[in-house]
Amino acid sequence: MFATMSVAAILAESAHRFADRPAVTLGGESVSYAQLWDQARAYAGALREAGVGPGSRVAVLIPNVTDFARTYYAVLALGGTVVPIHALLKRHEIEYILRDAEAGLLVCAAPLLEQGAAAAEAAGASVMTVLATEAGGADRLEDLAGQAEPIDTYRPMQPGDIATILYTSGTTGKPKGALGSHVALLEQVNVLLTSTFDFREGDRVFGGLPLFHTFGQTVVLNTGLRAGAEIMLLPKFTPAAALDMVLDDGIDIFCGVPTMYLGLLQAFRDRPEKPTALRYAVSGGASLPLAALEAFEEHFGATVYEGYGLTETSPVATFNHVGREPVPGSVGTPIWGVNVEIARPEVPDAIELLPRGELGELVVRGHNLFSGYLNRPEATAEAVVDGWFRTGDLGTKDDDGYLRIMDRKKDMILRNGYNVYPREVEEYLMGHPGIANVAVFGVEDEAHGQEIVAAVSLEPDSDLTEEAIRDYAAGGLAAYKYPRIVRLVSEFPVGPSGKILKRELVAQYQGS
């Protein structure tokens, strides 16, 4: 007899433990834990009547609103698999995911129906909608839930059963569906709460990270609800709205990616107030520039704890653990039960571990690993070698076990035969008070192999020129490292988690 479990137990158990506590708050309206579970059970009743059951794949195209949580846990409670879709995708992109995941049903927010319904029709999937103010071309899930018999409780699943299919943005080709098992997602939450994070019952957690992405879904939604916290949803992140929420709504915990922290620092200039409740900040998705980390701690009064992970690692693999002073510039040590080491990047078909202190590719193994890429055995075999997941990120591990990320393997620039790591150049440029954000990337160059380009956004009161930035870089970086090409930009292309998409910057540069 095998043990059984379900990610839906997170909400079901918390509904008993924290019944009357607010679970999710959106625009000043709160839903208690007991109410949220009742609503999820009602949604599940309607979905069951529509044929959703164990193994069903249900796509979810819903922004950061309470209906995401209702639908997410309803599908999981039925034993189905949730396929979250980026809320900004267009018709053909949504259609690709529906076809690739073989999702028979799309639950779509009414404001997104123009793209979602057309994609579903092309892919042969049925549609239910939420947030609709009146009956339209799709069945309203809220109405169906009011007519259906709610389920009693969640269906227990085998540990290896698939709970989610999360599509990775990918660097080349089409996105791949990463399979997340119930055991990987649950063990991730349990480890984060027992020995990694400082989440407490009743904490108000900033909910601006997109819930369709692994960071927002696992670290904010699942971990927050498991802890008995209150998720303060922000449907669309803007620096001003985020700062208002932190200051006016008493946010205790801020979870974000570096672009969010940089945005908060910019908004702080217009509203320079120190939060009274904020005590803990979590950053992931990319390395936070040290200058920004220090400025945030000075202005906001909360220490930033950095970690590292990917969709394929559920997502957290390393973190600056609670109870220890964080090491600036480090993404911490491996979380409980997970191994993270440094391997030779030039050996693709075997794992050859390197001694401490040497630069190489981060490799991960443990309970947090995904179960492979959907219908892509070759891609899975390339990514998981001898039980280790090859991250594609370059870094080091010191004698105390702390890891530092240098860069993505694919982002490393080779100029005149010398390795240039964009993060090092970015860190230096971010030290200039007139620079708000920067992304460094390489482009092909006949004379040097690759040339270094810096895309830079300026502080509002800065009058820096491209030439001045280039001179500043040349004055503090080795001759082979500093960017000969500087481009001023007003905004950066970003992915679903808020990370800057360097491949789009390369394409923009090449097309200019």
CATH number at residue 365: 2.30.38.10
User: Is residue 210, in this structure, part of any structural domain at all?
Assistant: no
Name the amino acid, one letter, at 493.
P
Q: Could you tell me if 402 and 417 lie in one domain? A: no
Of 114, 145, 180, the last residue of a domain is 180
| Residue 101 covered by a domain | yes
Q: Which residue has the tokens 């690993």?
A: 369
**Whole-angstrom Cα distance, residue 102 to residue 115?**
18
Q: Which of 384, 407, 430 is the last residue before a domain boundary?
A: 407
Same domain, 130 and 147: yes
DSSP 175: -
Is the confidence at residue 171, as pLDDT, over 80? Answer: no
CA gap 154, 177 in Å, rounded:
25
- pLDDT (tens digit, 9 = 90+) per residue, 307-359? 999 999 999 999 999 999 999 989 999 999 999 999 999 999 999 999 999 99
Say yes or no: 391 and 493 in one domain: no
Please name the residues in contact with 356: beta carbons below 8 A apart, sequence gap of 6 or more. Answer: 397, 398, 399
Residues 383 and 465 in one domain: no
On average, the pLDDT of the chain sits at: 94
Same domain, 387 and 505: no
Read off φ and ψ for residue 263, nearest 5 degrees. Answer: -65, -40
Give residue for tokens 């698939």.
162
Q: Are residues 173 and 50 in the same domain?
A: yes
Domain interval for residue 113: 9-17+29-180
User: Does 37 share its domain with 151?
Assistant: yes
Tens digits of per-residue pLDDT, 255-295?
998 889 999 999 999 999 999 999 999 999 878 888 899 99
The radius of gyration computed from the CA coordinates of the chain, to the nearest angstrom, equals: 23
pTM equals 0.88
* ∠ Cα 487 489 491 (to 5°): 150
% the chain with pLDDT above 90: 83
Instruction: Clarify whether residues 359 and 481 are in a common domain.
Output: no
Percent of the chain predicted with pLDDT > 70 = 98
Same domain, 95 and 131: yes
Q: Final residue of a domain: which of 374, 389, 407? A: 407
Which pLDDT value is given to residue 137?
66
Q: In whole angstroms, what is the distance from residue 257 CA to residue 293 CA?
A: 12
- Residue 173: the pLDDT is 63
156 lies in the same domain as 170: yes
Looking at the fold, whether 396 and 419 belong to one and the same domain comes out as no
Question: What would the pLDDT profile of 212-247 be if each residue is shown by its tens digit?
Answer: 999 999 999 999 999 999 999 999 999 999 999 999
CATH at 443: 3.30.300.30
- CATH number of the domain within which 97 lies: 3.40.50.12780
Answer with the residue of higher pLDDT: 132 or 36. Answer: 36
Do 349 and 492 lie in a common domain? no
Statement: residue 172 has pLDDT above 60: no
pLDDT at 1: 45
What pLDDT is attached to residue 169?
67
User: Tell me, what's the pLDDT at 286?
Assistant: 79
CA–CA separation, 101 and 83 (whole Å): 8
Q: For the chain, how many structural domains are there in total?
A: 3
